[in-house]
Structures are given as C-alpha cells and as structure tokens.
C-alpha cells in the first residue's frame, strides 16, 4: 500500500491509541507489576531480601516487618521465585505514582508460623527423597 | 574562498535520541571533517557488575533498553561457559525467540527514527504503531515491555506455553502484513528514496578496515553475522536450517535500512522455526558453585556484534565484566560516511548506523 492510501485509511479509522485512564490500559495477564506479601505465610527465611538485586526489601526478623522500597523495586520477580512458602505474589498492576518515594511496610502479627509447606508435604517428600538416595 | 566553520551537534540536539557530541568542520554546506566525542552517558555499569553473578543479569539488561534481552543473553552465556553449564534445548529456543522479537522491535524503532530524521513523521508514527504489536507479544511472554528478565545463568526463567506460542504466531502474521506495507514505502516512496539513496557511502574495504559490524557492515557487502557463525554457536541458531544472513553491496544509507527491513522477515521466520522445534522439557539447568575462570561470549545484537567478557575468581562476586558494544565498533565508520556530505544529510546518516550511546558509554 502506498503512503497516500495508508494515510487516507488511517484518517478514517479508529485511533491506534487508547484514551487512558478513561479506558483501562491493555495489561497482559502475567504482567510484572508490583509485589505483594501475604504475611500469614512468611516464615522469615530472608531469601527475598537476600535475592533482591536492588536492595529493595529490608527484612527485620525481630520486628517481624518487611519494608518494600517501591522506587528501588524493579519487579524482576527474583523474590517471588525465591520464596519457599509462596508468601510473595506478583500483581499485574503497577505501584501507583506518588510525590515521595513509597515504602510499604508489611507487618506480621503473632508468632512466626512454622515452615508449614516444608513439613506439610512430608508424607510425599521424605518418601521421595530416600528413593532418590 | 571557503572558510571552515565548526558546527557542534549534541550532546543535546533534536536529531539525536541519545547524547553523543559530533563536531563538524563545515565548508559552506559541505562536511569536511567530523570528530565524535562519547562519554556523556557513562554510568559505570562495568564497575557495578563486580557483584553477585546471578544478580548481574538484571544489571546487564539495564545497559540498554532496546537490546536488553541481547545483553542478558550474552552475559548468561559467558557465565555458563565459565561454569561449564549447558542450558536445555527448550531454554535455548525460548532465548532465541525472545532475541528475535527483540530484534524486530529494535529494527522497527530505528526505521521509524530514520523516517523522523528525514522529517517523514507519517511513516515514523506508522512504524511505532506497528511496533506495539511486537511489544504486546513480549509483554505477554515476559511480563514486561522493556526489561524481560527472561535469562538467568543456566537457562530461562519463564516458559512459553502452547497458547502463547499460538498468539506469537498470530502476532507474527499480523506483523508481516505491516512489514509488507513498510517495505513498499521503503522501496518505492519518492520522499524516502530521494533523501536516502546515495548518501553516507561506505565501501567494503573501509567497512572491514574500520571494523564495522551489524547491518552497517552487511549493507557494505561484508558477510559478517554471528548468527551464522557455526564456529561459535550461541542460543539455538545452530539448530536452525532456514537462516541466511542478509548481505547487500551498495553501502549507502538506503541499503542500510533495506538490510534492516529484510531482517525483519528473517527474524519472523526464525521465531516460527523455533516454535516448530519446541519440545516439552526443562527450561533451566542447575548452576552449582561459583564462577572460577574466564570466558567470553558474543551474540549478534540488533545493531551488530556484542561481546561480553567475564572473569570469576571462585567467589559469588564477579571479578570483572567487560562489554564491547556494536555502536562502539560502528562510530569510527561514521567519519568516512559523513565526509563530503551536505549538512542536511547529517541526521539520516548518523541515525542509519542505529547509534545506541547508552550501550556505548555504559
């Protein structure tokens, strides 16, 4: 198609862009937006803060809090992969824009849960492990 | 008698997307000399990469936003070579698919920018609109439009499932229709041809002497494409049967863009072939211990040959990572290209080498 017919076609067709935020953005289902903790599952193994390439997670076991520096987080998903109890999930929507660097604090109430998923599967895992050995 | 005037262009200039300083010696309207000055975008990434070798993948991606996957592939390969790990076939194929999708969006970007450089805004908008199709595909697979975070030493982090493969194929079909449109314009449109044909000439001998790489070298008749180098196979290119590098002889700006245009089709064909070769299996191999030793790896990034050298001393922290980027190799050939051209032809000639100063300065 020549440029002229292309231009005419574009002139009478719908715009290629969408009028965000009036129309919602076209976010893909497994988009890496931001991380979210489920504090009931956290067993304080510290793998998330250790694996984070940008030092965006500050974990304090004594105070039972995770601090997530949203401006540092690059949403790479290393912490999500590292978490043994699936306490971290990657949400599709990005962290909201703000005037100051956002620090989200996730606090855990009550005693630290036992590393359940590691002990719960024992019925199958230990029986599998000796087989391999 | 003509007097020599010095015209500085950059580091901030409407023509340049990124900061490079070019000092032109101009007699009337004719360029008589050019001095490129780089280093305005230095971020010390090589020093920063003296870091945990697994975390470095994310840094290497951030060397450049356009060729992010190509940087992380080169880095991961070099680390794999040091540690003696061979990624599974499926991982290699996924890497190659992302690599070529990356190339498609990079080439569409530069074709658009070239149109912008000659003031052809209509075509610029069209290229960038078509680029959204491939951006959507990469976002669907990796979860991000720019930094895919797909690679890790030993394989890839995300799989491409059957539904996604089908969607990629549908997207490619849609893209190829758009490529045909673009090709029509790039071959026959009068504005495009009269601005680009016959300017910025680079002979084959000069291209080889100055060490030009990528589409710049291939447009001058140098058959140099790492993807076809069987002696140094990388990713899944050694498994492909259909791949042949695009080489043209003319060596002018127009040919450089045509090489990129034809590579779009080649990339789409490679992605299709990779999808047809995909077999179920693991996507990552286990990486044990710390890197001890040194290795280098090279890949054919969208701008040309990209080389990574890594050195580990048995600690998790890398001792040294050296990056040689394609634009760094192509800047010397800007000199002979620009010599004797009109001042008005500077923007299309400079844009046609696809300068990525972000990579060059690191």
Number of domains in chain B: 1
Cβ–Cβ < 8 Å for B59, A57: no
Q: Which residue of chain B comes nearest to A10, CA vs CA?
A: B126
Q: Is residue B127, in this structure, part of any structural domain at all? A: yes
Task: Tell me which residue in A3, A26, A31 faces B122 most closely, judged by beta carbons.
Answer: A3
Q: How would residue A109 be classed by pLDDT, with cut points 50, 70 and 90?
A: confident
Q: Is residue A46, in this structure, part of any structural domain at all? A: yes
Contact across the interface for A1 and B184, Cβ inside 8 Å? yes
Q: Is residue B5, in this structure, part of any structural domain at all? A: no
What is the structure's pLDDT at B170?
92
Task: Tell me which residue in A1, A2, A32 faces B144 most closely, judged by beta carbons.
Answer: A32
Q: Which range of residues forms the domain containing residue B167?
A: 41-329+352-361
Is B150 within 8 Å of chain A by CB? no
Q: Is residue B306, in this structure, part of any structural domain at all? A: yes
What is the structure's pLDDT at A71?
86
Q: Which of A105, A106, A115 is nearest to A41 (CA)?
A: A115
Q: Which range of residues forms the domain containing residue A56?
A: 31-110
Distance from the Cα of A24 to chain B's closest Cα (Å) equals: 15
Q: Is residue A8, in this structure, part of any structural domain at all? A: no
**Distance (Å, whole) CA B353 – CA B337:** 10
Task: Tell me which residue in B140, B157, B185 faces A28 most closely, judged by beta carbons.
Answer: B140
How many A/B residue pairs have CB atoms within 8 Å?
A: 54
Distance from the Cα of A1 to chain B's closest Cα (Å) equals: 6
> Chain B contacts of A80, Cβ < 8 Å?
none
**Which residues have a Cβ under 8 Å from the Cβ of B180 and sit 6 or more positions away?**
none
Which single residue is written with the structure tokens 């694996």? A51
Which CATH number belongs to the domain containing residue A73 in this structure? 3.30.70.3270
Q: Which residue of chain B comes nearest to A31, CA vs CA?
A: B143
Contact across the interface for B184 and A32, Cβ inside 8 Å? no
Number of domains in chain A: 1
pLDDT digits (tens, 9 = 90+) for B22-32: 888 898 888 88
C-alpha angle B106-B303-B239 in degrees, rounded to nearest 5 = 85
- The pTM of the full predicted model, rounded to 2 decimals, is 0.86
Structure tokens belonging to residue B249: 């002889």
What is the structure's pLDDT at A116?
57
Q: How many residues does chain A have?
A: 133
Contact across the interface for A30 and B189, Cβ inside 8 Å? no
**Distance (Å, whole) CA B339 – CA B342:** 9
pLDDT digits (tens, 9 = 90+) for A4-57: 887 888 888 888 888 888 888 878 788 888 888 888 888 888 888 888 888 889
Q: Is residue A103, in this structure, part of any structural domain at all? A: yes
> Chain A contacts of B185, Cβ < 8 Å?
2-3, 6
**Distance (Å, whole) CA B213 – CA B325:** 10
pLDDT at A126 over 70: no
Q: Is residue A42, in this structure, part of any structural domain at all? A: yes
pLDDT digits (tens, 9 = 90+) for B345-360: 888 888 888 888 888 8
Q: Which of B288, B291, B294, B289 is nearest to B310 (CA)?
A: B294
**Which whole number is the average pLDDT over A62-86?**
87
What is the structure's pLDDT at A1?
59
What is the structure's pLDDT at A122?
46
Burial letters for B102-133: b for 16+ Cβ neighbours within 10 Å, e otherwise? bbbbbbbbbbbbbbbbbebeebbebbbbbbbb
Regions of chain B with pLDDT less than 50: none
pLDDT at A129 over 50: no
Q: Is residue B206, in this structure, part of any structural domain at all? A: yes
Which CATH number belongs to the domain containing residue B107 in this structure? 1.10.645.10
Contact across the interface for B58 and A78, Cβ inside 8 Å? yes
Q: Is residue A94, in this structure, part of any structural domain at all? A: yes
- Write down the ipTM of this complex: 0.74
Contact across the interface for B144 and A81, Cβ inside 8 Å? no
Which single residue is written with the structure tokens 């292309």? A6
> Chain A contacts of B58, Cβ < 8 Å?
53-54, 74, 76, 78
Chain-centroid distance, C-alpha A19: 27
Cβ–Cβ < 8 Å for A43, A84: yes
> Chain B contacts of A6, Cβ < 8 Å?
122, 126, 181, 185
What is the structure's pLDDT at B107?
92
Chain-centroid distance, C-alpha B97: 15
């Amino acid at each position: 198609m020549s440029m002229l017919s292309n231009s005419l076609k574009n002139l009478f067709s719908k715009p290629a862009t969408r009028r965000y935020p009036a129309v919602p953005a076209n976010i893909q289902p497994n988009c890496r937006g931001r991380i979210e903790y489920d504090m009931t599952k956290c067993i304080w193994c510290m793998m998330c803060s250790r694996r984070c390439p940008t030092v965006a997670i500050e974990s304090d076991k004594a105070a039972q809090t995770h601090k997530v520096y949203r401006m540092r987080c690059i949403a790479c998903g290393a912490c999500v992969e590292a978490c043994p109890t699936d306490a971290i999930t990657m949400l599709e929507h990005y962290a909201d824009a703000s005037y100051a660097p956002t620090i989200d604090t996730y606090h855990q109430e009550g005693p630290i849960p036992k590393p359940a998923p590691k002990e719960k599967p024992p019925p199958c895992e230990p029986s599998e492990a000796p087989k391999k050995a | 008698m003509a007097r020599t005037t010095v015209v500085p262009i950059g580091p901030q200039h409407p023509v340049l997307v990124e900061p490079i300083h070019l000092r032109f010696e101009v007699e009337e309207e004719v360029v008589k000399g050019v001095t490129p000055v780089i280093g305005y975008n230095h971020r010390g990434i090589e020093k920063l990469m003296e870091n945990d070798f697994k975390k470095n993948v994310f840094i290497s991606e951030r060397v450049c936003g356009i060729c992010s996957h190509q940087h992380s592939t080169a880095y991961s390969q070099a680390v794999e070579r040091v540690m003696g790990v061979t990624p599974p076939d499926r991982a290699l194929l996924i890497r190659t698919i992302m690599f070529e999708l990356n190339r498609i969006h990079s080439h569409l970007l530069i074709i658009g920018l070239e149109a912008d450089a000659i003031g052809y805004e209509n075509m610029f908008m069209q290229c960038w609109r078509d680029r959204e199709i491939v951006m959507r595909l990469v976002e669907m697979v990796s979860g991000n439009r720019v930094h895919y975070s797909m690679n890790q030493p030993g394989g890839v982090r995300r799989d491409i499932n059957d539904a996604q493969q089908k969607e990629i194929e549908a997207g490619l079909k849609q893209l190829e229709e758009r490529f045909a449109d673009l090709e029509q314009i790039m071959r026959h449109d009068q504005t495009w041809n009269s601005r680009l044909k016959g300017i910025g000439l680079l002979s084959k001998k000069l291209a080889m002497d100055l060490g030009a790489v990528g589409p710049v070298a291939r447009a001058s008749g140098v058959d140099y494409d790492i993807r076809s180098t069987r002696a140094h196979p990388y990713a899944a290119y050694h498994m492909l049967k259909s791949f042949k590098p695009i080489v043209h002889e003319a060596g002018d700006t127009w040919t450089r863009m045509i090489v990129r245009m034809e590579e779009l089709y080649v990339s789409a064909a490679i992605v299709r072939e990779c999808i047809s070769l995909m077999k179920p299996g693991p996507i990552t191999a286990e990486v044990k211990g710390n890197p001890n030793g040194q290795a280098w790896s090279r890949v054919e990034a969208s701008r040309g040959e990209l080389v990574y050298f890594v050195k580990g001393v048995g600690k998790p922290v890398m001792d040294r990572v050296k990056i040689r980027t394609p634009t760094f190799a192509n800047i010397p050939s800007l000199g002979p290209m620009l010599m004797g051209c009109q001042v008005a032809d500077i923007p299309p000639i400079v844009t046609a080498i696809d300068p990525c100063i972000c990579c060059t300065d690191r």
